[in-house]
Structures are given as structure tokens and as C-alpha cells.
Chain A
């Protein structure tokens, strides 16, 4: 394996690494979105369960206040395309559950792509290592 081939393989590794980083970022975004949706479902269900509609409202820094929700069955949901619609509590929970399913499907696709990228990177890594070993062996022979 000559020097040029080694350099090309290093470039490939770098490029695949950058692509993998982008996909890892997407996975994180999807996971955050999924967790947010779960938290929203918990809150919506807790609002119904609480007789007087009192919930704990987090205000940051680990602090919370007791807040009374005036209309626990009128939920404003951002449904996409920057449009917000009013839904009943039950419909909002259904909507969020569907969103979670969508996000999980997207996560699966991104994970598949990441796996493909990683296996290509492993392959290149193997070739790189064998190239380095050849280069070291050639250097020792010359000495």
C-alpha cells in the first residue's frame, strides 16, 4: 500500500466520521423529542388524574410551583408547519403517541445508516492498520 492510498483512506475515514457525527446529532435530537413527548403525556394524564387540575410547574433550577390548570381538557398542540390547534386532552395524548411512533421509526432508519457507516469505517480502519504495518515493516527492512 503506497503513501497516496494511505492518505485517501485517511480522508475516507475523516469523511465517514463527519457523516457519522451528523447522524449521531440527529439521533440525539430525535431522542430528545421522544423524551419530551413522553413527559408531555405524563403531564397531560396527571392533569386529568388531579381532581382540581393542580400540577407541579417546573420553573427551572430544580424549582417548581403548584399551578392550577384552568382548562385541563383544552390542550394547544403544535401539529407541524408552525400550526397550533386546540385538542381535547385525550386527543392530544393520542397525537403525541403517534408522534413518538414516528420518531421511533425515524430513529430506526438513522440507526441503520449509522450501522452501515460504522461497518464501512471498520473496514477502512482494518485496511489502514494493515497499511501502517506494511509501512513499518518496510521501514525496518530498509534499516
Chain B
């Protein structure tokens, strides 16, 4: 997952590190000369005097270097290109660069201190800032009254129905009872698809016939959950583009009737910046509380995952990472940053 971005970030990090190292070496140069001069006149100093080593230590190791804009400007430009080439949205890219710049410039760094640690620290905090805090669904369900009603929206063909099934399986594993509302009554075969999923994962499905009013199906699903004391209602809906006003009105009706606690926008990570733009449009028109990105395992660039939370101001909740039901991971920013930058650093 995000292999290409990981490689590029590694290169950008090395470049930043070597820029600072270069500046440090330049600052160190006069000190070395001074040391050599010191050695020449060493004969006059008592061999037992401990002050010489201390002086060298103070001059070479403990001397501070102040990182300047000039030292890292080229490396920051490269980082900017790296992020843009990975489809990271421009405002997010700007935010990351600004954060790294603020973190590094004017920093008093001891020459003996690891440059890599300094650079990784700056990149880590910049990425964490744009990735936000994530969204802990289990914690949300635990702290809200039941049933928690979750409505899934998004464009066609991004894996929304499969995501509903995966989240159902995930919540069931966490010990919650779940019912799925088959609200995609529009697409031919959608009810069969969700029916197969529900049967496989052992979750009750509420459905009407094809072409029925999705609001009615989802209302019935909520009523079923209330009467059977079910913890969570997962409401599948037909995929739609935000430009289709009739389908968007239908979604508005679903919202009024079902009164969801959470609206989740589902899109595919491989769509890159397009996914970010679409999520922003959906958020503007119907609103979204969190986002799920599917097919993250096939996305080498990682642009959408990095950009989406910062761009629309809503947290990323899950990443879909494969074909199996268990191939869904809760989005934890710290873990993703560790994956990108390496946790051992």
C-alpha cells in the first residue's frame, strides 16, 4: 500500500537530510582548521591538560547549527514536486511544506545530533497534521445510543456495497449486532449482491423488491433494529454522481426519513485527486461525517489518503485493502505515517 509514495518520501527525506548535513559540514569546516592549528601549538600545553578534548567537543559536537531557509529550499521544492506527483492535493501539499519549513528553519541543532531524526520528526508531524485524527467507529458506537444508524453514499462502482459488508463483518467481530438495509433498489443485481454478502457474513438483511423506495427500506431496517435491539444499522444506497439532482433529492429524502447518525462517503483510493474533489462535492451537497477509501492496496501514490481529510475537513475512517471481508483496516494516522516513514526511525 502506497509503495510509490513511500519510496519518494524516502528520497525526499534523504535529500533534506543531506542538505542540512551539507550546511553542518560547511559550518564545521573552520572548527576543523582551528583544531589543526590547536594541534600545532599543542606542544606548549601540558599533556595532562584535559581542556583540549573538552574544547574540541564543545566546538565540534555541541556547537549549534541554525538551519536556514537557504539550506533547505531546494530540498523543499523537491519535496513539493514529490507530493504533487503522488497526487497530493495542492493545498495539502502547501500545508505539509509550510509545516516542514516551520519545523526545520531556525531550528537550533547540535552538530552531533542526528540529521535524519530531525528531518523525520518534521515530516512526521507535518503528515500527522494533515491526516487528522482518524475516526474510531467502535468508540463512536460504544458512546452513542443504539441503534447507531450509518448511511453509506458515494459514486457508482467504487465498492460501496462490498464496504458495507466488510464493515458489517468488522463490527460483528467486535461483538456488535448488525442489520444491513438494502437501500440500493436502483441498480440491477444490487440486492442480490448485498444478499449474498449478508448471507456469507451471517448478518440480517432488510430488503424490498427492486425499484422500491429506498427510504422505506431503510426506515424498515431502523424499525427492525429498534424492535430487535440491534446495535448498528448499515444502510447501503445506490451509487450516484452529485450532478444527478433526482438521485441527490432521493438521498435527501433518505436522510429525512432515516435520520442517520453518521453519513459515510465511500470512494476509491486509486481515483487520486478525483476522489478528493468528489468527496468535497458530496460534502457540500449532502454532507459527510467520515470517509472510507477502497482499493488502497492498489494505490501506489497515496495522494487521496493523504489529502482527503485535510481538504474536506472530515476524517478518514477505513481503508479497503483487498477482496476478503477482513481486508479493511481502521485508518490510524500514526500507523500510516509509521508505514510511510518507517517506525524504527
Q: Mark A10-29, 1 if CB is under 8 A from B, else 0.
A: 01101100110010001000
A133 CB within 8 Å of chain B? no
CA gap between A116 and B84 in the complex, in Å = 33
Is the CB of A35 closer than 8 A to any CB of chain B?
Answer: no
Considering the complex, give the chain A residue whose CB is closest to the CB of B83. A81
Secondary structure type dominating chain A contacts: helix
B192 touches A106 (CB 8 A): no
Across-interface contacts of A105 in B (CB, < 8 A): 3-4, 300
C-alpha gap A117/B324 in the complex (Å): 11
- Asked whether any CB of chain B lies closer than 8 Å to the CB of A86, the reply is no
Q: Mark B267-309, 1 if CB is under 8 A from A, else 0.
A: 0001011000000000000000000000001101101000100
Q: Is B22 an interface residue (CB 8 A)?
A: no
The reply to whether the CB of B335 lies closer than 8 angstroms to some CB of chain A is: no
- Say whether B84 contacts A81, CB under 8 Å: yes
| List of A residues within 8 angstroms of B85 by Cβ | 79-80, 95
Whether B81 sits at the interface, judged by CB under 8 Å, is yes
- A111-133 vs B, Cβ < 8 Å mask (1 yes, 0 no): 00100110000000000000000
Q: Is the interface of B mostly helix, strand, loop or mixed?
A: helix
- B61 CB-CB contact with A under 8 Å: no
C-alpha gap A22/B193 in the complex (Å): 15
- A19 CB contacts on chain B under 8 angstroms: 323
B130 CB, nearest partner CB in chain A, Å: 13
Among B157, B196, B300, the residue within 8 A (CB) of A106 is B300
Q: Please classify how large the interface on chain B is, using the bins under 10, 10 to 19, 20 to 34, 35 or more.
A: 20 to 34
- Interface membership of B45, Cβ < 8 A: no
The verdict on A46 contacting chain B, using a C-beta distance below 8 Å, is no
Q: Which chain B residues border A117 with CB–CB below 8 Å?
A: 323
Q: Which residues of the partner chain A approach B192 to less than 8 Å between Cβ atoms?
A: 11, 14-15
- Give bound CA distance, A22 to B323, whole Å: 13
B298 touches A110 (CB 8 A): yes
Q: Is the CB of A81 within 8 A of B88?
A: yes
Cβ of B195 under 8 Å from chain A: yes
Q: How far is the CA of A95 from the CA of B8 in the complex (A)?
A: 13
When the two chains form their complex, are residues B298 and A15 in contact, meaning their CB atoms are under 8 A apart?
A: no
Are the C-beta atoms of A82 and B273 separated by less than 8 Å? yes
User: B122 an interface residue at 8 Å Cβ cutoff?
Assistant: no
A78 to B87, CA, bound (A): 10
> Is B89's CB within 8 Å of the partner chain A?
yes
Q: Does B90 contact A (CB under 8 A)?
A: yes
Assess the B193–A79 pair: CB atoms within 8 A. Answer: no
Contact across chains for B84 and A83 when beta carbons are under 8 A apart: yes
Q: Is the CB of B303 within 8 A of A18?
A: no
Is residue A45 within 8 Å, beta carbon to beta carbon, of the partner chain?
A: no
What's the nearest-Cβ distance from chain A to residue B236, in Å?
Answer: 14
Name B303's contact: one of A11, A22, A81 (CB within 8 Å): A81
Cα-based distance from A85 to B93 in the complex (angstroms)? 15
Q: Does A8 contact B (CB under 8 A)?
A: yes
The CA of A105 and the CA of B298, in the complex, are separated in Å by 9
Tell which of B87, B273, B297 touches A109, judged by Cβ atoms closer than 8 Å.
B297
3 A-B pairs closest in CB distance? A80-B87, A11-B196, A83-B84
Residues of B within 8 A of A (CB): 3-4, 81, 83-90, 93, 157, 189, 192-193, 195-196, 199, 270, 272-273, 297-298, 300-301, 303, 307, 323
26 CB-based A-B contacts, threshold 8 Å: A11-B192, A11-B195, A12-B196, A14-B192, A15-B192, A15-B193, A18-B193, A19-B323, A22-B157, A26-B270, A80-B88, A80-B273, A80-B301, A80-B303, A81-B83, A81-B84, A81-B303, A83-B90, A85-B81, A102-B4, A102-B300, A105-B4, A105-B300, A109-B297, A110-B298, A113-B323
